[in-house]
Structure 1
Amino acid sequence: MAHAQDASLVARDDIPKTFDDVIPGGQDFTRKEVMIPMRDGTKLFTVIIIPKGAKDAPMILTRTPYNAGERAGNPKAMTIGDAVPLADAAFVEAGYIRVYQDVRGKYGSEGKYIMMYPPRGPLNPTKTDETTDGWDTIDWLVKHIPESNGRVGMIGSSYEGETVAMALLDPHPALKAAVPESPMIDTYMGDDWFHYGAFRQMMLGYVHMQTVQKGAGAVTPTDTYDKYEEYLRAGSVGDYIRSRGLEKLPFVARMMAHPAYDSFWQGQDLARLMAAKPSNVPTLWEQGLFDQEDMWGANHAWLALKAAGHAANNWLVMGPWSHSQVNGKGYNVGPFKWEGDTARFYNRQMVLPFFEQYLRDGQPAKLARVNIYNTGDDRWDAFDDWPTSCAKGCGTALTPLYLSKGASLAFDKPADAQAADTYVSDPAKPVPFLPRPVLDPFFGYGTDFAGYIPWSSWLLHDQRFVDGRSDVLTYETPVLTSAVRVQGTPKVDLRAMTTGTDGDFVVKLIDVFPPSVPSDPAMGGYQMAIAMDILRGRYRESFEHPTAIPANTPQAYAFELPNVNHVFKPGHRIMVQVQSTLFPLYDRNPQTFVPNIFNAKPGDYQPATITVLRSDSQPSAVWLPVVGKSTTP
């Protein structure tokens, strides 16, 4: 009889059709998955995590293109703190209801996915966008979650930060607080796709990953280990795109059709749109000082809203973080270690009190209007306004630090009638932005992968790897005898000539450590870039209307560097590097003016001799936001 029973096993399936895990002691939360209808009938997949016994609880919503089911954390965890991502633990432990939602067209949500879904208007003739989807979602939540108090906060980083900003264009009455973190605000001027007109071609892998399918995609296939070699062999960035079929992706095609800052990009600048219709929702803007992807958005949105008269309901935090690092741990970026876990401090000592005040009528958060980490003194600084030093309209004027003779920097204006330095920029040998090999940032290499420098820390990589190249000009001060403190946005005023008719200009502001640092020997002589950026020369007069550069004619190239709150300490030096390429992060400029660089031909790529002027009539300088007492080098 037993043998007959055993034999019958082969007719069965050891995997049951359904099985619910039994967790000893049960879970202290309930996880719900629902499809929330939008005004056009499209339903969006939403995960709701509710603490057991919750009553009159606030809700925090994140709208994401990155899989709400996974973003919501571990559904099998025993405790709610372990169930959600690290950055959310403080909120759910305080009794908040946590909500994650897939944007339309991605993962579990219905509808069509449009990358950076434009606001309703000239670029979007439909009746829906991220603003209406946010409104409809909040409206459903406050009507269908009886455990809530009817108040909602929104939070999200990067693309998720953009969906927070979009909700602020027409906020639901129940949206009482917002925290856009490293948001994509103006992706032409300084966020993901371009910087001052130069195309960030290494982001193409991200676009491929996001838009080839509804769920998780893969980065662009390659047979080349070193991205530097791969892009260089391909030719123009347009040649690279076409060789891999990426022009068939609608978003890539749109970028290629709009290389200048025309109405397509201006119509998606959320800082401009929010300033034209500012909300009264209390908003805490977060920005990483070393954000390698979205360096522009939060601070420019905050500045635009301040200029529109809405400083009273907007706050700004800039911490010592790479992109979206506030979602993890904030002990360091690369070799630079900070005072404790700065991300944990931000989430628990800034964001949570902010939400408590506006979502629960808690004690005032008592946040300074602006909180910015001091990367020289290794501490948080609080300000009533920002920047404290600027070109005009604030407390202290910028101080020019001039490029001077003998590869030096000086606060005194040059007296030479004719003085200049030259280098040859050869598109066939572009300056790398990282030591080679440069690996794909979206491929998933670990931080301990042999020879790999993490994408998250490239902005703080030691710049000695290019110092000494013949196509990089280096200027530095003598050893400082007292501290030079900078707070604000440095401004580049570069006077230069080129033998070409187009070209890019990269400027780096660098803190050079003493030759010997006994407490940390590896930092001896380290060149720490505290700010850098790139300007495409054809846009020196207008980002909307590019013009050829007149060959061998002095031109002014003016642009702002990212925010700094730093102290150059005694014993250090201040350094400025000037070059024409940051490859392959940015596409190569052919240095011959063509209507659209995406379509440049091999013959357009020509070496050019760059002459950086530093005379009394044509002085080149980086204007520094120096505050307090400073010492002339």
Structure 2
Amino acid sequence: MKPILLLFFSLFLIFTTTIQAQEPSTESQYEKKMVLIPMRDGIKLNTVIFIPKNNTAPLPFLFMRTPYGVADSPSPERSNPELAKEGFIFVNQDIRGRYLSEGKFEMLRMTRDPKIPNSIDESTDTYDTIDWLLKNIANNNGKVGVFGISYSGWTSMMALIDPHPALKAISEQATPADWFINDDMHHNGAFRLSYGFDYAFMEEAGKTDTLFPFDTYDTYDWYLRLGPLSNVNDKYFKNTIPTWNNFVQHPNYDDFWKKQSLLTRFANRPLTVPTQHVAGWFDQEDFAGPLFMYELLEKQDKNNLNYLVIGPWNHGGWARADGKSLGNLQFESATAKTFREEIQLSWFNYHLKGKGDGKFAEAITFQTGSNQWKRYDSWTPKQATQQALYFHANGKLSFDKPSSASGFDAFISDPANPIPYRNRPIEQTYGPGSRWRTWMTEDQRFVHGRPDVLSWETEVLENDVTISGKVLAQLYASTSASDADWIVKLIDVYPAMMDEKNLKMSGYQQIVTADVLRGRFRKGFETPLPVKPNEVAEYKVDLLQSDHTFKKGHKIMVQVQSTWFPLIDRNPQKFVPNIFMAKAGDYVKAEHRVYRNGGYASRVMVSVVR
């Protein structure tokens, strides 16, 4: 397959740099060098180094490692203008086995056994590179900061496994943490089909990024024609894509996924380097990772080194443009510029140059709805209290618990007619014209009213309602089949009449947070269990976290459905041991019921700040 380099140049910018839409200077103030740096096992890694031309004072390094190719890295004035103006030595590196680096690539490479001489992993490659830089790049001040977005956020975390003494600051941005529980490839055990398929092929079909050759623009149609997931290897991959084979061979949360997870790698590991975790409320790929890593390391942080930043961004959105808007949502200020000019710059200036007072807020978030930056001394905020939004008859939602003795709402879920997760056509994830980046801001009215989507909403709010912290859906539900997926969306419904300048937002249904649980994993991800037909069971759908104000005059809505295609693969709804090996005959219609009575009070728990 011929690499499609032009398409993936933009992908590289999303994941690895902080591109600004601005005219480059006629002449860069940085000298560019490309070198092959030897690792402890003799493998050489391709590395691009940008050194200020006229600097006289010793400078620290800012180091980023990526699988997306660095040979054509733009100058720092274009990629990181705020940091470039301050002055750093920038280092970008192809990780092992990718693009111009030697060796064999391994997706999310497992951590080495230190007892094995000359064993390697991403941490040792980081360590060896830093060691080489300190010895071979003149006029450095002996300090290094590691940062990056997405996969480069993950390599930033890996630098902490065995940190070099010169490593003084980390800014991991949108790292994946666990590919089975809640990042790119699965959410709560449900397989993220379109992304998992596209990404596995993109990274492993060749040494450079390669698009799968879909013959259909609307991939909703293509994935529906694909049929059972067993057809992927039979018809297309032919067992040549290692990550896809891992999906097939490990359908449950077994030792493979646990070993790969950062949650395992960092369990009981003390934090020794100041670490900033950066996330976006509308991150379509890795929102959970930074939250999970912040929470885990916070328990192990004895020296106040662990910090969190969350803004109104999609995946990597803080690193490009100005952040005044996303899709149809307007934020009233340049949120991305605020991050780059104030939050990120002050972080590296303090830790690498000794500038500033180092008094960082424990958590900095941009509260959507109210459109305000907030600074907290703990996350979640201590003043937030858990309250329940209960489902009621006639599509009503309320903080009052239902008192009726019985009651449920029902729908038919048909795998042959799955609900699209965004407006069609659904373009290839990173293909021409793709709207993948902004789908989480789409108006949910495109599915509201479908017979297989249930909705409940409050009365018009008489006062603002702010939620800051964890969100958890607790459904009491049944199915006529033996398995089911449960997708829950918490939605902000805008007033029906708006100012004429904002007519498109009239009645807009904005996702605040949403996620899925595969029913077979309702009692744990390690062992899937069939559902007893027509028996009421509890399903806890983790909707992660939010900091959002539902404004006076708006409504709060909850939507529940069972398909979200092709973001999530179709659950056959007939229990099979391994959905990746399901047959066409395993896919069946089913009636799903969501209960809303005094005994089975389905609800969404939110962290309300009064």
Question: Shorter-chain TM-score category?
Answer: over 0.9
Kindly indicate whether the alpha-carbon contact (under 8 Å) linking 2:28 and 2:77 is maintained by their aligned counterparts in 1: no
CA displacement at 1:606 relative to structure 2: 0.4
CA displacement at 1:241 relative to structure 2: 4.2
Aligned to 1:111: 103
Q: Counterparts of 1:85-164 in structure 2 under 5 Å?
A: 85=79, 88-121=80-113, 127-164=119-156
State the distance in 2 between where 1:384 and 1:238 align: 49
Cα distance per residue 1:400-429 (max 9 Å; x no partner): 100011110111111111111100101011
**Which residue of the other structure, out of 488, 509, 516, is the alignment partner of 1:534?**
516
Change (3 A) 1:193 1:121: farther
Aligned to 2:13: none
TM-score (norm 2): 0.93
Aligned to 1:439: 427
Kindly indicate whether the alpha-carbon contact (under 8 Å) linking 1:62 and 1:101 is maintained by their aligned counterparts in 2: yes
**Which residue of the other structure, out of 390, 394, 398, is the alignment partner of 2:386?**
398
Kindly indicate whether the alpha-carbon contact (under 8 Å) linking 1:288 and 1:321 is maintained by their aligned counterparts in 2: yes
CA displacement at 1:155 relative to structure 2: 0.6
Aligned to 1:464: 445
Kindly indicate whether the alpha-carbon contact (under 8 Å) linking 2:189 and 2:517 is maintained by their aligned counterparts in 1: yes
Q: Letter of the aligned partner of 2:488 in structure 1?
A: V
Query: Secondary structure of 1:563's match?
Result: strand
Kindly indicate whether the alpha-carbon contact (under 8 Å) linking 1:483 and 1:570 is maintained by their aligned counterparts in 2: yes
CA displacement at 1:282 relative to structure 2: 0.5
Query: Secondary structure of 2:264's match?
Result: helix
State the distance in 2 between where 1:386 and 1:24 align: 41
State the distance in 1 between where 2:529 and 2:465 align: 38
CA displacement at 1:24 relative to structure 2: 12
Q: Counterparts of 1:328-477 in structure 2 under 5 Å?
A: 328-329=320-321, 330-388=323-381, 395-445=383-433, 454-477=435-458
State the distance in 2 between where 1:35 and 1:491 align: 48
Cα distance per residue 1:595-615 (max 9 Å; x no partner): 100111111100010011111
State the distance in 2 between where 1:24 and 1:547 align: 60
Query: Secondary structure of 1:68's match?
Result: coil
CA displacement at 1:553 relative to structure 2: 0.5
CA displacement at 1:461 relative to structure 2: 0.2
* Residue 606 of structure 2 is aligned to residue 614 of structure 1: no
State the distance in 2 between where 1:311 and 1:256 align: 42
Q: Letter of the aligned partner of 1:361 in structure 2?
A: G
Runs of 4+ in 1 over 6 A off after TM superposition: 23-26
Aligned to 1:33: 34
Kindly indicate whether the alpha-carbon contact (under 8 Å) linking 2:474 and 2:604 is maintained by their aligned counterparts in 1: yes
TM-score (norm 1): 0.89
- Structure number with larger C-alpha Rg: 1
Aligned to 2:274: 282
CA displacement at 1:189 relative to structure 2: 1.1
**Alignment length (residue pairs):** 582
State the distance in 2 between where 1:246 and 1:461 align: 36
Kindly indicate whether the alpha-carbon contact (under 8 Å) linking 1:208 and 1:246 is maintained by their aligned counterparts in 2: no
State the distance in 1 between where 2:253 and 2:424 align: 32
Aligned to 2:51: 50
State the distance in 2 between where 1:484 and 1:128 align: 51
Aligned to 1:512: 493
Change (3 A) 1:466 1:246: farther
Kindly indicate whether the alpha-carbon contact (under 8 Å) linking 2:473 and 2:604 is maintained by their aligned counterparts in 1: yes
Kindly indicate whether the alpha-carbon contact (under 8 Å) linking 1:28 and 1:51 is maintained by their aligned counterparts in 2: yes
Kindly indicate whether the alpha-carbon contact (under 8 Å) linking 1:231 and 1:240 is maintained by their aligned counterparts in 2: no
CA displacement at 1:27 relative to structure 2: 4.7
Kindly indicate whether the alpha-carbon contact (under 8 Å) linking 1:284 and 1:315 is maintained by their aligned counterparts in 2: yes
State the distance in 2 between where 1:370 and 1:244 align: 45
State the distance in 2 between where 1:24 and 1:588 align: 50
State the distance in 2 between where 1:578 and 1:558 align: 13
* Residue 460 of structure 2 is aligned to residue 479 of structure 1: yes
Q: Counterparts of 1:200-219 in structure 2 under 5 Å?
A: 200-203=192-195, 204-217=197-210, 219=211
Cα distance per residue 1:544-591 (max 9 Å; x no partner): 111001111110001321321111111100000000011011100000
CA displacement at 1:491 relative to structure 2: 0.7
Cα distance per residue 1:232-270 (max 9 Å; x no partner): 111112323432125321111012111111111111221
Query: Secondary structure of 1:424's match?
Result: strand
Kindly indicate whether the alpha-carbon contact (under 8 Å) linking 1:305 and 1:311 is maintained by their aligned counterparts in 2: no
Aligned to 1:561: 543
396-405 vs 605-614, which deviates more?
Answer: 396-405
Q: Letter of the aligned partner of 1:182 in structure 2?
A: A
Q: What is the percent sequence identity of the aligned residues? A: 41
Aligned to 2:15: none
CA displacement at 1:225 relative to structure 2: 2.0
Aligned to 1:239: 231
Query: Secondary structure of 1:127's match?
Result: coil
State the distance in 1 between where 2:301 and 2:47 align: 35
**Which residue of the other structure, out of 472, 496, 507, is the alignment partner of 2:477?**
496
Cα distance per residue 1:310-334 (max 9 Å; x no partner): 4710110001000011221122110
Kindly indicate whether the alpha-carbon contact (under 8 Å) linking 1:350 and 1:365 is maintained by their aligned counterparts in 2: no
Q: Counterparts of 1:59-74 in structure 2 under 5 Å?
A: 59-70=61-72, 72-74=73-75
Cα distance per residue 1:256-291 (max 9 Å; x no partner): 111111111111221332242123100111001000
State the distance in 2 between where 1:115 and 1:193 align: 12
Cα distance per residue 1:490-510 (max 9 Å; x no partner): 111000000110110000000
CA displacement at 1:125 relative to structure 2: 11
Aligned to 2:16: none
**Which residue of the other structure, out of 161, 164, 168, is the alignment partner of 1:172?**
164
Query: Secondary structure of 1:244's match?
Result: helix
Change (3 A) 1:370 1:311: farther
Kindly indicate whether the alpha-carbon contact (under 8 Å) linking 1:43 and 1:109 is maintained by their aligned counterparts in 2: yes
Q: Letter of the aligned partner of 2:43 in structure 1?
A: T
State the distance in 2 between where 1:422 and 1:176 align: 55
Aligned to 2:21: none
CA displacement at 1:340 relative to structure 2: 2.8
